[in-house]
Structure 1
């Protein structure tokens, strides 16, 4: 069995839902062969091919043994190439030994444990019987959702006996247009001009959004790609834009490459969101922000910049969702979703508690972006239950980098001192959140689509790993949070004044 180099991260993602040890998970995966069976429709660009490509991309990040079956040799070799680019050591086997089979592209399967994944226009489907209906219009947002939903169903079937919560499987037909079952199923995806958009955070959720956007050839506008980080080994567990060879690549470069076949004009900003916002000396003037950063303060900061429209994609403790926000609507703004209720510890207090440092010392190191002393690294190792020398690679690095890397999970460490298994989303969880966010961007930027879309601001799937998708219960109304900035008269006046006349920023050169 050929485990991926990033398997430790896989364990942190799956281990909590399955309540298993690393060794148990390794054994369980070694007994599974997941098959993708591709029909003739996978030969041409469109939904079937996109679903097959993304499904293999997702599956190989978890399962070390795959079977890829197609009567079209070029299709099979193409998909094997995708799998091996992500995990070069993956075992590609014969489909006859498959545990579960996913059929894409109108083929039927005699395998007793089969899932059929397809997309028709705006509708993503996971079915348990083959459909005789002609395939619907191409739509990469629905195709991405269909692949993620199929991967989620595979996970629940493969690990059914290990999941604490047992629920019967459920077929899914989900319209990304309004979250009914069939809206937009026969509707072609037309050109869309998203205007000026900031993509803030190009991690796993951002990867999912960009994957779908990159296959919308008639997508136009300007996009600012904002992220200061590079791809780490651990990111490969769920970054669908990244192959094994992309370790240490700049995230903005991967994002740029993903959008090269669209009509979007790209601005690459390898910096933090806060640094990017400081460019706008006279006030932030870009109208739309898609945010999928990995921390609450930055999400609240996005809303405080008062863009006209905010799209939010997120994953949580085995959950996922997306939301859209216009500051002057009588509904929750983005900051409402993350509004603190009651006293909360400061960021530096949380850092100090997590790493076992004196709060005053942690505050000084954090604010000044300084590196802890060697003896303080030893102190952290003892607090976290690590072996001596586990943090030696962090010598000379700022405390903020250490906290993000160790506590937020960018490094392969068994952090016993936290008293829990680190919560890391699986790849399909992040991709679906990204696809939902990208679909909202297109809908809210296109008046004819926006008029037919849901009025609720929040889309949520709870307990993604253990429960099937929420039949008819994706949408949530969310009212404003008392004390939030959206109820502040001054903020509302600034927002109204800002969007009566807007100057186009001219201090950033496009790529």
Structure 2
């Protein structure tokens, strides 16, 4: 029994949510907790139940070191699924403990079960199409549709409640969701009887995904659950999978470390013969001018940087779906009419002067800013001299940094400052500039974005919806998740400039 080999990144994410964080206490609580995933015929015999089981493993196996798989199904099919779930969990965390002898402390119940068959503090999930159902009182049913969105959201809601329950004292005793029905389609709660459109059996995609990190992985996990896909999908990301990425990348496992993100993701879509997946191993700025107009009709943005979002909007895609995570909330924003409605840039125009990328990195690594700026501006890869300077300035062994030689300084920063090397070994203080969400937070942001992509691609939403949805997973869900937003007139956003509006209308023949 041991914590995953990417636990240092998990620890940083927890430290950004828990006041007076103590790593030793956090580790000990996780090591002492036995978590069970319980399921029966309803889960193993329905599509939505199987969606939920797969995602539950992909979330929980990254954080919790002790997981029991408890199958109460009445036929042999459940045992086959249990083997698959265990195999997936070990591909994520090879040292996971699956001992099922001791009674669980916490139980995640997926689908309808006999409530007498569960123990510990129970969290019940179910779903029906777009709707996610959750309860702390009794088991919920999983429907047998081919819509993964309600099932996926229900698991994220459950994972958030499990985290709040286990770390209640450290988080200030937040309330749990008692019983809730959340619609991924309307993004409202407790609209149980509200009619919502069925997911089409045949879905045509045509969009470009910028960023295949945690949110991008979650978007693509959702698409992979759909029965048929056709059209095209562009994947843009120049980075490889690092070990620390496994903390919250839905589709990434130990075997993917040090491999190209987009190349590995492309391989996962081979079962869709009518879908063309185009992997671009580039920064988006390097290839945006080479993309066809229809590549830019719908762009999904899943980047960490506010500055990059501003630049993307300046290229004037026709429609943008944006997803984010932050310490305050996770969410999705919809930008379907640059000329008339709030644009992506409106949300990210800085209210005060921001530190440049080179200044942030230099301060974190305690290096001269001119040196860091030179490496970034001239695309100089991290070399022996660079890691010696970092090791000296932060008083850490140089050998812990050698595996980062040959990477861009920005990657060195994200993997070192936010990874297992520098955080564990020094008192480097700059890492708080980088958000490190918990797995279920990134997963839910991606699920919301994927749903918007499908809704827009299939033109399922007939009525206008507010442009923003924000969810704080450290507190119970409420019915004021959607927010209206006006154009940023005070900061003179580009969408208020006649020259940009004219260029947008000309570009898209509006």
Distance 1:142 1:134 in 2: 10
In structure 1, the residue corresponding to 2:98 is in which secondary structure? strand
Distance 2:380 2:310 in 1: 25
Deviation at 1:2, TM superposition (A): 2.2
| Matching residue of 2:182 | 174
Deviation at 1:186, TM superposition (A): 6.7
Deviation at 1:178, TM superposition (A): 1.0
Cα pair distance change 1:95/1:335, threshold 3 Å: farther
Q: Kindly report the root-mean-square deviation, in angstroms, between the aligned alpha carbons of the 2 structures.
A: 2.6
Deviation at 1:427, TM superposition (A): 1.1
Deviations 1:237-292, CA, capped at 9 Å, x for gaps: 11110122221222113322343344532112121111221324x97852111111
Distance 2:506 2:418 in 1: 39
Cα pair distance change 1:164/1:365, threshold 3 Å: same
Determine if contact 2:466/2:482 at 8 Å carries over to the other structure.
Answer: yes
Deviation at 1:85, TM superposition (A): 1.7
Determine if contact 1:228/1:270 at 8 Å carries over to the other structure.
Answer: yes
Relative to structure 2, which stretch is displaced further, 296-305 or 306-315? 296-305
Determine if contact 1:199/1:290 at 8 Å carries over to the other structure.
Answer: yes
Answer yes or no: is 1:105 the counterpart of 2:106: no
Distance 1:457 1:409 in 2: 34
Deviations 1:73-131, CA, capped at 9 Å, x for gaps: 22222221221121122111227511111111211333252111111111011112335
Q: What is the 5 A alignment of 1:405-416?
A: 405-407=415-417, 409=419, 413-414=423-424, 416=427
Deviation at 1:189, TM superposition (A): 1.5
| Matching residue of 1:484 | 493
Cα pair distance change 1:333/1:278, threshold 3 Å: same
Distance 2:141 2:24 in 1: 44
Cα pair distance change 1:13/1:350, threshold 3 Å: closer
Answer yes or no: is 1:77 the counterpart of 2:83: yes
Cα pair distance change 1:95/1:107, threshold 3 Å: farther
| Matching residue of 1:243 | 253
1:332 aligns with one of 319, 323, 342:
342
Relative to structure 2, which stretch is displaced further, 253-262 or 333-342? 253-262
Distance 2:395 2:470 in 1: 35
Deviation at 1:45, TM superposition (A): 5.2
Deviation at 1:28, TM superposition (A): 0.7
Answer yes or no: is 1:356 the counterpart of 2:357: no
Answer yes or no: is 1:7 the counterpart of 2:10: no
Relative to structure 2, which stretch is displaced further, 316-325 or 26-35? 316-325
| Matching residue of 1:116 | 124
2:161 aligns with one of 153, 159, 164:
153
In structure 1, the residue corresponding to 2:169 is in which secondary structure? helix
2:455 aligns with one of 443, 448, 462:
443
Aligned length: 495
Determine if contact 1:17/1:163 at 8 Å carries over to the other structure.
Answer: yes
Distance 2:79 2:409 in 1: 52
Answer yes or no: is 1:207 the counterpart of 2:214: no
| Matching residue of 1:46 | 47
Distance 1:150 1:95 in 2: 24
Deviation at 1:152, TM superposition (A): 1.1
- Unpaired segments ≥5 residues, structure 1: 502-511
Task: Give the TM-score normalised by structure 1.
Answer: 0.89
In structure 2, the residue corresponding to 1:351 is in which secondary structure? helix
- Unpaired segments ≥5 residues, structure 2: 73-77
| Matching residue of 1:474 | 481
Determine if contact 2:38/2:69 at 8 Å carries over to the other structure.
Answer: yes
Answer yes or no: is 1:299 the counterpart of 2:309: yes
Determine if contact 1:372/1:399 at 8 Å carries over to the other structure.
Answer: yes
Deviation at 1:136, TM superposition (A): 6.0
Cα pair distance change 1:265/1:284, threshold 3 Å: closer
Task: Give the TM-score normalised by structure 2.
Answer: 0.89
Distance 1:245 1:258 in 2: 14
Deviation at 1:355, TM superposition (A): 2.7
Relative to structure 2, which stretch is displaced further, 283-292 or 297-306? 283-292
In structure 2, the residue corresponding to 1:310 is in which secondary structure? strand
Relative to structure 2, which stretch is displaced further, 128-137 or 147-156? 128-137
Relative to structure 2, which stretch is displaced further, 304-313 or 419-428? 419-428
Deviation at 1:327, TM superposition (A): 3.6
Determine if contact 2:215/2:446 at 8 Å carries over to the other structure.
Answer: yes
Distance 1:375 1:419 in 2: 21
Distance 1:361 1:497 in 2: 43
| Matching residue of 2:285 | 274
Determine if contact 2:13/2:436 at 8 Å carries over to the other structure.
Answer: yes
Cα pair distance change 1:363/1:52, threshold 3 Å: same
In structure 1, the residue corresponding to 2:115 is in which secondary structure? coil
Answer yes or no: is 1:190 the counterpart of 2:200: yes
| Matching residue of 2:75 | none
Cα pair distance change 1:485/1:327, threshold 3 Å: farther
| Matching residue of 1:504 | none
Distance 1:167 1:132 in 2: 20
